[in-house]
Amino acid sequence: EVQLVESGGGLVQPGGALRVSCVASGFTFNGHTMSWVRQAPGKGLEWVSAISRSGEYTYYADSVKGRFTISRDNSKNTVDLQMDSLRADDTAVYYCAKEVIDHAIEYWFFDVWGRGTLVTVSS
Amino acid sequence: EIVLTQSPGTLSLSPGERATVSCRASQSVSSSYLAWYQQKPGQAPRLLMYGASSRATGIPDRFSGSGSGTDFTLTISRLEPEDFAVYHCQQYGSSPLTFGGGTKVEIK
């Protein structure tokens, strides 16, 4: 079964740091770019960050650039998001998502999502 | 950045009725690289459509997508009880990836 499972969410004070992780199973992990997408309470979805198959290339939304760092370990089938200098507006459920490859072409929409992990930034 | 605007915000319909959700882009979406997702409370999004009009694996044919350029539509031909949910559009033709604000399809 293709699966993504996130962990590491919790309550953190403004200005603090938190690391969320995602472990993948059921597919060739190192064959896919992976993304983090977040959803603030009662709001829509926001793409946060992505990392290429080898981990060589990383991409960030402007809202998190310079504060968040994405990484992956293909030996462990994991992708992490290190979040520093957290702000109240970073409060959200953070989803790990797998991009699609069709006929050897990568498309950045997502066919597999984890259940998410809640990050709350509050004093 | 391409801004996606969904309308209406909420759609109140009865089972068996037709649902039409609109997604309008602030600029043309390259190659109709537009996807639709369904999300139920407390659950992760589920891929419904991609390439504006291609159904994802396992999606029933009462779901259809259309459009190009800046105007896209998701249609549910006859609402089943399990279709009441929030629907999101996403463009993946240009960076950064962006999503619409969501449309809630609720039972009337």
**Beta bridge pairs of residue A42:** none
pLDDT of residue A104: 84
CB contact under 8 A, B47 and A109: yes
Residues in A touching B46 (Cβ below 8 Å): 113
Whether the per-residue pLDDT at A102 is higher than 90: the answer is no
Angstrom distance (rounded) from CA A110 to CA B29: 17
Q: Note the pLDDT of residue B48.
A: 98
Res B11: pLDDT: 97
Query: Which candidate, B84, B75, B86, B74, places its Cα nearest to that of B24?
Result: B74
Instruction: Locate the chain B residue with the closest alpha carbon to A109.
Output: B92
Confidence of residue A8 (pLDDT cuts 50, 70, 90): very high
What residues of chain A lie within 8 A of the CB of B99, using their CB? 44-47
DSSP result, B1-47: ---EEEE-SEEEE-TTS-EEEEEEESSPPGGG-EEEEEE-TTS--EE
Query: Which pLDDT does position B31 carry in this prediction?
Result: 87
pLDDT (tens digit, 0 to 9) for every residue of chain B, 108 residues total?
999 999 999 999 999 999 999 999 999 999 899 999 999 999 999 999 999 999 999 999 999 999 999 999 999 999 999 999 999 999 999 989 999 999 999 999
Report how far residue A68's alpha carbon sits from residue A59's, in angstroms, rounded to the nearest whole number: 10
- Contact residues, A window 55-84, toward B, CB-based 8 Å cutoff: 59, 61-62
Look at residue A121 and tell me whether its pLDDT is greater than 90. yes
- Tell me which residue has tokens 């699966």: A3
Give tens-digit pLDDT for A64-79.
999 999 999 999 999 9
Neighbours of B35 (CB within 10 A): 29
Token output for A14: 């403004």
Using pLDDT thresholds of 50, 70 and 90, give the confidence band for residue A17. Answer: very high
Q: Which pLDDT belongs to residue A105?
A: 85
pLDDT above 90 (res A109): yes
> Average pLDDT for residues A41-65, to the nearest whole number?
96
Spell out which residues of chain B touch residue A107, defining contact as CB-CB under 8 Å. 33, 50, 92
Q: Rounded distance, CA B96 to CA B92, Å?
A: 8
Q: Do A59 and B95 touch (CB under 8 A)?
A: yes
